[in-house]
Structure 1
Amino acid sequence: MTSLSSDIENISETAFDKALSERYLAYALSTITSRSLPDIRDGLKPVQRRLLWAMRLLKLDPASAYKKCARVVGDVIGKYHPHGDQSVYDAMVRLAQDFALRYPLVDGQGNFGNIDGDNAAAMRYTEARLTTAAYDLMEGMEEGAVDFRPTYNSEEEEPEFFSGLFPNLLANGSSGIAVGMATSIPPHNVAELIDAICHLIDHPEAETKELLRFVKGPDFPTGGQIVDSVNTIRHAYETGRGSFRVRARYEVEDIGRGGWIIVINEIPWQIPKSRLIEEIAALINEKKLPILSDIRDESDENIRIVLEPKSRTVDPQLLMDGLFHLTSLETRISLNMNVLDSHHTPAVLPLHTVLKEWLAHQFAMLQRRCRHRLQRIDDRVELLEGYLAAYLNLDRVIEIIRNEDDPKSVMIAEFKLSDRQAEAILNMRLRALKRLEEAEITAERDSLKEERAGLQALIESDALQSKKLKSDLSALRKRYSLKSKLGARQTLIEEQTPAKAIPLDAMIEREPMTVVLSKRGWIRGLKGHVDLKSTEAMRFKEGDEADFICHAYTTDRLLIATEDGRFYTLLADRLPGGRGFGEPVRLMLDISNDTKIMALLPLNPEGKLLVVSSSGRGFITQMTNLVAETRKGKQIVRVKKDEYLMVLKVIEEDHDHIALIGENRKLLAFPLSQIPELAKGSGVQLQRYRGGHLSDATTFTLEEGLSWPMGGESGRIRTETDMKTWVVARGASGRLPPVGFPKNNRFS
C-alpha cells in the first residue's frame, strides 16, 4: 500500500500532445542517427559496422577459413546489436551479394540468394569471411585513429566509425527510410572516385561540375545503361537529389536465314530477373505486345534472356522501345544523398560537399595515426635508452639486482632512469641481457628518431599530408583499377531518347475487317469489307439480327456509345472471329444490361463528332477525346434525368451547317461555327421545343443543300438547295420542313 501511494505521488501531469511529441521526437532521432542513415565517414549504418567489426575480431580476414554465419550473427546480437537475429543476418546477406553491392564487404560461401530474387539459405548453412574491400575500409583501426564507445551493456567496446581509405559511401551506396526522411545513394566506381578525390586535394575549391569529369555517374554491379543527358546527371549531383534512367543492355543475334533474336545480358540494378521475365511473359499472354512471340531464360552464371520476335520483318529497335516502355527493362533509380555529416547531423549534400567532408575526415585520420605512432615511438625510444644504459653497465646492473633489497630505486638513482625504464630492465631475462648489443640498440633508436622527425614534419605540413594521402590513394587505386576485373566500369553511360509507346498500327498487320454488333449485344469481326447492305451471309442466334455494321481495319480502335453519354473503346484486333456468333460486348466492357447501345464506329484520330442529346443540347468534340483506357468507359455527354444521348454524327470535312428536326416537326439549320468544341459536358441548346424532344440531326454543306431519302424501294434522294427559310440562329425552334420530308422525322 505504501509503495502504491509513493508511485502516485511521483506522477506528474503533462499535456498529451507535449508528451507525445517529446517521445516521438526521441524515437525519430534514434531512427535517423542510429538505424537508417549512413555515416559520411565510412558509409555504413550501425548494424553493418557492428557486423564487420565482429568478423574482424573473429579474425575472418580474406586469407582465413570461412566460419558459419550463425556464429557471426550470435556475436553481433550478443555483444553489439541487441535486435532480432534475422534482421542482422539480412544485413549480412546484402553485404555479401555481388549483384546488390558494387564491392561486396562480405565473402559468402553457400546460398546467399540470387538475382532472380530468391532468398538466402538459413544462417546455419552459410559461411562467410571479410573481403579485401572490407579490410581496406577498416585499415588503421589499431593505430589510434578511431574513438571507441561502450556497447549497449558496457561490457565491450565498438568503434564509432571505420578509418580506412576505401570510399564506401559512394562506392557501394546506401538506402534507408527514417522518420520524415530517406536516403538513396547508388553505387559508383572506386577508381573514378579516387581520381576525383585526388583532383580535390590539388584543387580544394573544385565544384561538382568539375568533379564530374572523373565521376561519370553511378556504376551498378548488374551493369545496364544510363540513358540520361549530361545536364540531367549534373543537376542530380549538384543538388543531391534526382534520378537516373537505367536500361537493360542487349544484343541482336543472327540465327540464319534472315532470322534474329534479342539477347538481354544486363538488367537494371535491384530488379529481380524473375520479375522481368514475368512482366514480359504477361505482355505476350495478354497480347499487349503482338510483335513479340516468345521469351526464354537461358541464364547460368551470366544473364541471358532470349526474346523471339513475331516475324523477321519486325524492327528490333521498335520491339525494344516497346519493352522499355511497358516493363522494368527501363527503370528510374533515385539519388537522394541524405547522410549524417561530420557533426552527425542529417543533410542532403551535393557531390563535392560529400567528397570534401570525406576528405577532411581522412586528413584527420592521418593526423591521428601520426600522433599515435609518435607516442609509440617515444615509448619505444624510452625503453631502448634504458636498455642501452643497462648494457653499458651490465655488471653493475647484475650486482644491484643480486645484492639490493630495492634494486629498482637504486638503478633509478644511479643511472638516472625513469620508473618505466627500470621496470623494463628488471623484467628482462638474463638470457636477453647477454644478447644485448649496443650497435643494435643504437641503430633501432636512431631509426625511430628519424621516423619521428618525419612524422613530426608530416603533422606540421599540409603539403606533406596531401602528398602522403595522394600516395596512399594511388596505391588503393591500383587494386581497383579500371583495367582490372573488379574495378572495370560495369554501367555504360550514353544518352538515349525516352522510350515511347509503340503505335498500334506498328504492332499489328493492317487488314480490312467488318465489325458486326447484334441487337442482343454480340460482337465479332469478319475478314474483309463485307457489303453493309447485305447481311444474308451473316449468321445470328435465333431471334437476333444486326444492329450496327461498319468497315474497319485490324489496327483501328472502335468507339461504342451508350444512351447515358458514356463512350467505350475496343481494339479491333481483339474481337472474336466471324465464324461464330461472336462474344457478348457487355462481358468485354462494363455496360449494364439496361443501358442501350446507340452507336458503333471506328476511331479517326483526325475526326470530329457531333453529339446531341434528346433535349436538343449538344457540342462538337475531337474523336480522340472519346477514347477510354478502362472497361468502365468515359463519361463524355452529361445528360439529365429522362434525357439520353440521341445523335452521334461524324462531321465531314466540307460540311459547314447543321440541321435538326424535333418531334414537333420543326426543322432548324445554322452554321456549325456556332456550336462550341468541348472535350466533355452537356453542350449548348441547339434547338428549343415547347413539347417533346429532338428527333434527328445531321450536318451538310449549305451550297449543296440538305438531302434526305424519299423512302420505298426506289432509293431516290431528294435535295433542298434553297435553305434560307430554315437557316437562322442557334437555339431557335425552327419551321415546318420542306414538302416531301419523311414522316418519320429522320434525315437518313
Structure 2
Amino acid sequence: MGEGPIPTDDGAIEPIGLKAALEERYLAYALSTIMHRALPDARDGLKPVHRRILYGMRLLRLDPGGGFRKSAKIVGDVMGSFHPHGNMAIYDAMVRLAQDFAQRYPLVDGQGNFGNIDGDNAAAERYTEARLTEVARLILDGIDEDAVDFRPNYDGTTEEPVVMPGAFPNLLANGSTGIAVGMATSIPPHNAAELIDASLHLIENPQATTDDLLKFVKGPDFPTGGVIIESPSSMADAYATGRGGFRLRARWEKEDTGRGTYVVVVTEIPYGVAKSRLIEKMADLLNEKKLPLLADVRDESAEDVRVVLEPRARNVDADLLMESLFRLTELEVRFPLNMNVLVGGLVPKVVSLGEALREWVDHRREVLLRRSRHRLAEIEHRLEVLGGYLIAYLNLDEVIRIIREEDEPKPVLMARFELSDVQAEAILNMRLRSLRRLEEFEIRKEHDKLSKEKDGLEKLLSSEDKQWKTVARQLGDTRKMFGPDTALGRRRTTFGEASVHNVGAVIEALVEREPITVVVSEKGWVRALKGHVADLSTLVFKGDDALKLSFHAETTSKLLVFASNGRFYTLDASKLPGGRGHGEPLRLSIDLEQEADIVDVLPYQGARKLLVVAKEGRGFVVNEDDCLANTRKGKQVLGVDAQDATKVVPANGDTVAVIGENRKLLIFPLNQVPEMVRGRGVRLQRYKDGGLSDIKVFTLADGLTWTDTSGRNWTVADLTEWKGDRASAGRLPPKGFPRNNRFG
C-alpha cells in the first residue's frame, strides 16, 4: 500500500486525464457493443454470434438432411475458433435459432428439448443435438465461392466471414431485437414470400415508395400467430420512418358448451409472451377480484395452445370479457418497431422498409458478381489446364519420354510444346490412371462446355440488366420454397380491428359490482364500508374528527369531490380504502393545495345538473358531465378569488332558496340562473356585509322544507313574502327556521 503507481518499462510515469481516459474507453466499449454484439447487419440480418454459430456448423458439415451433432461440440468449436465468450451465451443464442415459436423461419434444426412456449428452458448442451435448416443453407449458399469478405478471427489462427451471402431475406423475415449503448433495435418477423414479392417489385421499380411496397408486405407475421389490430395508416407511417409499433392480440373463439353456456378458447397468444406467466397473471387478477366477468381460467394445451376462459355467467358478453382481459393482461401486447441496423456493416442507421429491402437486394447483386468472377477465374484456369491435357494427349509418347529421361522435365516440356507453367505443372501432376480417360473427345467436350459458360458469365458481368434479372430469378426460386401454399410459408398472423366498446362499460367490467357506503370525515378522511349501512353511530374517527357526510354507492361508481378552490376532482369508488380502519386522507388521491378544503363529495349519476355557489353569493348551474376530471389536478369549474367556494347542490326542482349570514331568505325561479361550463357565475343574493350561509333547489308546488336542530321537519307552502328576483336582498325567514341558518 502507498507505493505509488507502477512505473512503465522505461521507468517514466505518463499522466493521463481521467475524463479523457474514461471517454476513450467508454467510446471503445460502446462501439464494440453496437458493431459486434447488439445490432444486426442489414444485409444478412445476423448479429456476429449468430453468424459465427452458422459458420461453425457449416465447418462441421451439419447440412440439412445430414446427421446431427451434440450441441456441446458445436458450442465448443464456435467458442474456440470464433466467439471467445461464455458457452451459455453461445448456447442460448443457438437455442433461440432453433425455437419455432421464437424464430419465424428457424435456422437451426434441434433434436431434444429446446424449450417451449411456456417459458421453460432448453436442456443442457450435452443432451441436445443440432444441424442446419434449409433456410440456413440458403443464407450460407456460396460462402466457399468468394461471395463475401473474410477477416481474421479473434486470435488470427483462422478466418471468419464478415457477412453471409444471404439468399434469404433474414433481417425482416426473422426480425431482431437488441439493446446497444445509446441505441436499440426491434424488428418483428415478417412473411418471406411477401418480402420477396416486394423485393422483386423494388428491382423492377427502383423508385418504389413505402406505400407501393406495402401492397406486398401486409405487416408483421409472427411465428405464434395472433391478430394485429393496428390501423393501416399507423403501420404505413411505421414502415416509412422505421419507427413505430404494432398492437398484437391473442386469437380466440367462442365455444358453445350447451344450454346457453359458453367458454372462450384462446388458440394463439402474442409473440414473446410466456404462456405460464400469462396464466399466472390471470389467476392473480382473479384472486384480487379484478376480473368480475371471469369465473375460471384453465390451460388445456398440448402441442397446440388451448387456454380456456370460463365466464362468470351465461349472459356475460364474450367481447366485453375479452376487452377487459386485453386491457389487464398480456393477451394484448405492443411490439415496437425500431429498424436500427448496421448499413454496409459499418454505420448504425434507422432504415425504412424500402431501404432495408434495398440493402438486401444490392447485397444479393454484389454476391452474384463476386461468385461470377470467382467461377470465371476457375473456368479460365481449367481451360488452360485442358489445353495442356490436349497437347499431352496428342503427343503422349514424347511427353512420357521427356518425363522418363530428363532430369528437369518441366522446362523441357514448356520449351518443347510451348506450354505455360500451369499446364506443365498439371501434366506432371497427372496420375497414370488418368491416361486411360484422356481422350480427345472428352477434353474437347469439356472445353466447349466451359467456354460456353465463360461466355455467359462475361455477358452477365458486363450487363447490369442481366445481373438484376438473375437476382430476380434467384429470388423467385427462394419464393417457391416459402410460398403461401407451403406449411412454413403460410401467413400465421392476420389483421383485424379492435371491437368498439363503451369505455365506461369496459372499466365497469374490470370491477366487481358491490354496494358500499362512502364515509367522509370533517378533516377529509374517506373510507368505503361494505354494503349499504344505515346506522353510522358506531363509527370511530381519529381524535377530534367527526362525520361530515355519507352516502350509498357501488364499487363501480365515480365520486365527484368539490373543493373550496372551485375545482371538481374525480375518484373511482373501487379505489377507496376499506372501512376497517379510519380510511385515508382524500388529499392522497387528489392534488389539492394545502390551503383548500373539501366542500362536498357526491356520487356521479350522469346528466344531472348541479348548482355551484361561492361565499359572496355568486353561482351558476353546471352539467355534471362537465365536472368530470381526467387527472389528479381536477377540473376548474367555479372561478373564485380566495378559497371561498361554499356549496354544490343538485339542481332538482324549479326554485332556488338562498339564505345569507345576515339571516335574510330569498326565493327566486331557477331559470334565472344561467347554465355554464365554467366561470364566475352571476349574483344570486345581495349582501351589505357577510356572505352566503346555505342554498337549496326545490319544487315550489311542494313548498320549502327544512330540518331544525332538534331533527323536526318544517314545511312552508305560502312563500309569497320571500319571493323575489335573483340578486335581491331577501327578508327574514319564517318562524321556526334554525338559528344556524341551514336548511338541514
TM range (shorter): 0.7 to 0.9
In the alignment, the residues of structure 1 paired with residue 416 and residue 299 of structure 2 have an alpha-carbon distance, to the nearest angstrom, of 86
Cα-to-partner distance string for 1:303-360 (whole Å, 9 max, x where unaligned) = 0011111111122222222222332222211212121113621222221222122111
Q: CA 1:590 to 1:129, structure 2 compared with 1: closer, same or farther past 3 Å?
A: farther
Q: 1:4 corresponds to which residue? A: 7
Q: CA 1:358 to 1:549, structure 2 compared with 1: closer, same or farther past 3 Å?
A: closer
SS in 1 for 2:451: helix
Cα-to-partner distance string for 1:265-314 (whole Å, 9 max, x where unaligned) = 01111122123223322332233331221111111110001111111112
Q: 1:135 aligns with which of 137, 142, 156?
A: 137
Which shows bigger deviation, 244-253 or 273-282?
273-282
Q: 1:579 corresponds to which residue? A: none
In the alignment, the residues of structure 1 paired with residue 13 and residue 540 of structure 2 have an alpha-carbon distance, to the nearest angstrom, of 88
Letter of the structure 1 residue corresponding to residue 716 of structure 2? R
Q: 2:254 aligns with which of 244, 247, 252?
A: 252
Q: 2:737 corresponds to which residue? A: 741
| 8 Å contact kept, 2:653–2:699 | no
Does the alignment pair 1:403 with 2:393? no
In the alignment, the residues of structure 1 paired with residue 6 and residue 647 of structure 2 have an alpha-carbon distance, to the nearest angstrom, of 86
Does the alignment pair 1:661 with 2:657? no
Q: CA 1:722 to 1:505, structure 2 compared with 1: closer, same or farther past 3 Å?
A: farther
Which shows bigger deviation, 154-163 or 323-332?
323-332
Letter of the structure 2 residue corresponding to residue 11 of structure 1? E
| 8 Å contact kept, 1:559–1:627 | yes
- RMSD of equivalent CA atoms: 4.4
Shift of 1:407: 0.9
In the alignment, the residues of structure 1 paired with residue 215 and residue 461 of structure 2 have an alpha-carbon distance, to the nearest angstrom, of 31
In the alignment, the residues of structure 2 paired with residue 12 and residue 393 of structure 1 have an alpha-carbon distance, to the nearest angstrom, of 78
Q: 1:302 corresponds to which residue? A: 304
Q: CA 1:635 to 1:296, structure 2 compared with 1: closer, same or farther past 3 Å?
A: same
In the alignment, the residues of structure 2 paired with residue 691 and residue 332 of structure 1 have an alpha-carbon distance, to the nearest angstrom, of 62
Q: 2:593 corresponds to which residue? A: none
Q: 1:119 aligns with which of 121, 126, 136?
A: 121
In the alignment, the residues of structure 2 paired with residue 184 and residue 150 of structure 1 have an alpha-carbon distance, to the nearest angstrom, of 30
**1:86-125 maps to which residues of 2 (within 5 A)?**
86-125=88-127
TM-score of the superposed pair, with normalisation by structure 2: 0.84
Letter of the structure 2 residue corresponding to residue 422 of structure 1? A
SS in 2 for 1:311: coil
Cα-to-partner distance string for 1:498-546 (whole Å, 9 max, x where unaligned) = 676451797499999684859998854557xx9xxxx6xx697599999
Q: 2:607 corresponds to which residue? A: 606
In the alignment, the residues of structure 2 paired with residue 509 and residue 405 of structure 1 have an alpha-carbon distance, to the nearest angstrom, of 102
Shift of 1:226: 1.2
Q: 1:718 corresponds to which residue? A: 716
Which shows bigger deviation, 552-561 or 231-240?
552-561
**1:185-224 maps to which residues of 2 (within 5 A)?**
185-224=187-226
Q: 1:453 corresponds to which residue? A: 455
Letter of the structure 2 residue corresponding to residue 651 of structure 1? A
Q: 1:291 aligns with which of 290, 293, 299?
A: 293
**1:7-156 maps to which residues of 2 (within 5 A)?**
9=12, 11=14, 14=17, 17-156=19-158
In the alignment, the residues of structure 1 paired with residue 538 and residue 515 of structure 2 have an alpha-carbon distance, to the nearest angstrom, of 21
| 8 Å contact kept, 1:276–1:329 | yes
In the alignment, the residues of structure 2 paired with residue 28 and residue 382 of structure 1 have an alpha-carbon distance, to the nearest angstrom, of 51
In the alignment, the residues of structure 1 paired with residue 413 and residue 507 of structure 2 have an alpha-carbon distance, to the nearest angstrom, of 103
**1:216-235 maps to which residues of 2 (within 5 A)?**
216-235=218-237
SS in 2 for 1:118: coil
SS in 2 for 1:38: coil
| 8 Å contact kept, 1:523–1:584 | no
Q: CA 1:615 to 1:84, structure 2 compared with 1: closer, same or farther past 3 Å?
A: farther
| 8 Å contact kept, 1:566–1:633 | no
In the alignment, the residues of structure 1 paired with residue 271 and residue 514 of structure 2 have an alpha-carbon distance, to the nearest angstrom, of 44
In the alignment, the residues of structure 2 paired with residue 405 and residue 543 of structure 1 have an alpha-carbon distance, to the nearest angstrom, of 121
SS in 2 for 1:716: strand
In the alignment, the residues of structure 2 paired with residue 511 and residue 18 of structure 1 have an alpha-carbon distance, to the nearest angstrom, of 63
| 8 Å contact kept, 2:684–2:726 | no
In the alignment, the residues of structure 2 paired with residue 505 and residue 471 of structure 1 have an alpha-carbon distance, to the nearest angstrom, of 55
In the alignment, the residues of structure 2 paired with residue 633 and residue 460 of structure 1 have an alpha-carbon distance, to the nearest angstrom, of 72
Q: 1:586 corresponds to which residue? A: 583
Shift of 1:253: 0.9
Shift of 1:136: 0.7
Q: CA 1:422 to 1:505, structure 2 compared with 1: closer, same or farther past 3 Å?
A: closer
| 8 Å contact kept, 2:556–2:573 | yes
SS in 1 for 2:136: helix
In the alignment, the residues of structure 1 paired with residue 175 and residue 417 of structure 2 have an alpha-carbon distance, to the nearest angstrom, of 60
Cα-to-partner distance string for 1:350-405 (whole Å, 9 max, x where unaligned) = 21222122111111111111110011111111111111111111111111111111
Q: CA 1:148 to 1:570, structure 2 compared with 1: closer, same or farther past 3 Å?
A: closer
In the alignment, the residues of structure 2 paired with residue 573 and residue 344 of structure 1 have an alpha-carbon distance, to the nearest angstrom, of 53
SS in 1 for 2:713: coil
SS in 2 for 1:307: strand
Q: CA 1:614 to 1:82, structure 2 compared with 1: closer, same or farther past 3 Å?
A: farther
Which shows bigger deviation, 284-293 or 239-248?
284-293
| 8 Å contact kept, 1:521–1:584 | no
Q: 1:481 aligns with which of 480, 483, 488?
A: 483
Cα-to-partner distance string for 1:604-656 (whole Å, 9 max, x where unaligned) = 122455567989899977656877999x9979999x9x99997553333645x
Q: CA 1:709 to 1:644, structure 2 compared with 1: closer, same or farther past 3 Å?
A: same
In the alignment, the residues of structure 2 paired with residue 510 and residue 401 of structure 1 have an alpha-carbon distance, to the nearest angstrom, of 101
Aligned length: 723
SS in 1 for 2:106: coil
Shift of 1:710: 6.5
In the alignment, the residues of structure 2 paired with residue 220 and residue 231 of structure 1 have an alpha-carbon distance, to the nearest angstrom, of 20
Q: 1:271 corresponds to which residue? A: 273
Which shows bigger deviation, 266-275 or 645-654?
645-654
Percent identity over the alignment is 50
